[in-house]
Each structure stands twice: as C-alpha cells, then as structure tokens.
Homo-oligomer: A and B are copies of this chain.
Amino acid sequence: MEEQLKDIKMPKTKRGLITFNKIIKAAEKLFGTKGYYNSMINDIAYKAKVAPGTLYIYFPDKYTLYCYLLTQYNHHIREYISSRVKDCTTRKEQERVGLLAFLEVIKERPYMYNIIWESLYIDKNLFVDYYESFAKRYVRNIESSKANGEMKDFDSMLVSYVLMGISNFVGLKYVMFDESKKSSDIDLEKIADEVIEMLEKGIFK
C-alpha cells in the first residue's frame, strides 16, 4: 500500500490543507454511501466544492485517494485504541478497553466497515494487507503477554484473528446493524465486559 501513497502530493499551506481535508471528507462520504465504483472523481470534487483539477493536484487518481483513506483508517483505529489502552495494567484490561475503543471508533465513523471491506473488491491485496498489518502488531503484543505470564500459550496469530473476528462482528451487530436503535439502548461497556468474561472463563460449562 505504501507504494501507492508516494504519488500523493501533501498540501504545503494551511489553505491547501483545508482543501485537502474537504476532498477526504467528501470521498469518505461518497465511497461510504455509493461505494467506490459508483463514485467518480468528478462527484467527489463536486461534493467537496472544489474543481476536479484541484483534486488532481493531490491525488493522481481515485485509486490512490482510496488507498490514502484506507491507510488513514488503519492509523486512526490503531492510534485511538493505543491512546485508550496505554494506562491499562493487565492484558485482560487492555483487551476490554481495546474492544470498547474499537466499538467507539466505528460508531463515530459509520462508513468505516463499508470502506475498509470494499478493498476486497478494489484490490484484494489491500484487504489482506489491512488485516495482516493489524494482526502483525497484535501478535507482537500477544507474544509479550505470553512471555510475562498473562496469556495462555495458544498460537499468537490464531489468537489475533480470533480477537479481530470478535471485535469486527460484535461491531457489525451492535454498531452497524443496530444503528437505528437509540444509543442509550446499547451499552457498549456492558458488551465489552461480557465478551472479556467469555474470553476469561470460557463459554462452556
């Protein structure tokens, strides 16, 4: 993915940054609602209220703009979770707060699933890289928790995909599917607590 990003010209002025951000926001909204294939560069420019030519100052094409957005999501999710878990003192607490942070971050950006998963249809390698890069960091984390005696000795890669699967599908259900329910009806804290209890005590009797 880094390959594509080198063709982006980042804005050098404050004014440029404002324009750049308007483009990103418009692309996010259009990719998220109409999808990548149904969103044209001209539509994005129109929605961002910039000339199509302006868009090409920063991005050589729609694909690069999409890759930029995907990378931003990856960074944003990681940074948000890191900042939330930094004061946790146990692995279990880290997983609980990390899951909660993930649910919060997708709640705040409702198009996130659509945009991330559409990579599977745009370029499968983007999709694979997206999850494999998450997993790689997760594995390092799990390895150190195994080393300091906080986690059992399961295969770290398998554990990372188990945990990512849980977060993603719990998010699907309680953030995306149930979005029409009143926020007060969905207690993300309680959900995270219960998932961690399952991961601690197991689900079978």
Contacts and interface: CB of A to CB of B under 8 A. Distances in A.
A132 B178 CA distance: 11
Interface string A161-205: 110111111101110010000000000000100110111111111
Contact of A165 (B117, B120, B165): B165
A158 interface: yes
A185 to B, nearest CB: 13
Contacts of A172: 131, 161, 165
Contacts of A205: 149-152
Contacts of A202: 152, 198-202
A19 interface: no
Contact of A162 (B114, B132, B169): B169
Chain A: interface size category: 35 or more
A38 interface: yes
A113 B91 CA distance: 32
A27 to B, nearest CB: 16
Nearest to A150: B205
Interface of A: 35, 37-38, 91-92, 113-114, 117-118, 120-121, 128, 131-132, 135, 149-152, 154-155, 157-159, 161-162, 164-170, 172-174, 177, 191, 194-195, 197-205
26 contacts: A37-B38, A114-B120, A117-B117, A118-B121, A121-B121, A131-B172, A132-B177, A151-B203, A154-B194, A154-B197, A154-B203, A155-B194, A158-B170, A158-B195, A159-B198, A159-B203, A161-B170, A161-B172, A161-B173, A162-B170, A166-B166, A168-B168, A168-B169, A198-B199, A199-B204, A200-B204
Given A117-B120, A149-B205, A200-B202, 16 more contacts: A35-B121, A118-B121, A151-B204, A152-B201, A154-B197, A155-B194, A157-B173, A158-B195, A159-B198, A159-B203, A162-B170, A165-B167, A165-B168, A165-B169, A168-B168, A200-B204
